[in-house]
């Protein structure tokens, strides 16, 4: 649910810091 909106092609997030957080969370839960 939390990561779902981030992977929609229409909504790109350019914040590298936020992207790093998301990848860290993905690494934790995957």
Q: What is the pLDDT of residue 16?
A: 67
Question: What pLDDT is stored for residue 3 in this prediction?
Answer: 61
The reported pTM is 0.39
Record the tokens describing residue 14, joined without a space.
Answer: 């350019």
pLDDT digits (tens, 9 = 90+) for 1-30: 456 655 655 555 556 667 788 888 888 876
Cβ proximity of 2 and 25 under 8 Å? yes
How high is the pLDDT of residue 15? 62
pLDDT at 9: 55
Q: Domain spans of the chain?
A: 1-30
CA–CA gap between residue 24 and residue 30 (Å, rounded): 10
The token duo for 12 is 């790109």
Instruction: Give the 3-state secondary structure of residue 28.
Output: helix
- Residue 2's SS3 state is coil
């Amino acid at each position: 649910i939390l990561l779902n909106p981030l992977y929609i092609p229409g909504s790109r997030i350019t914040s590298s810091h936020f992207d790093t957080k998301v990848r860290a969370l993905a690494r934790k839960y995957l």
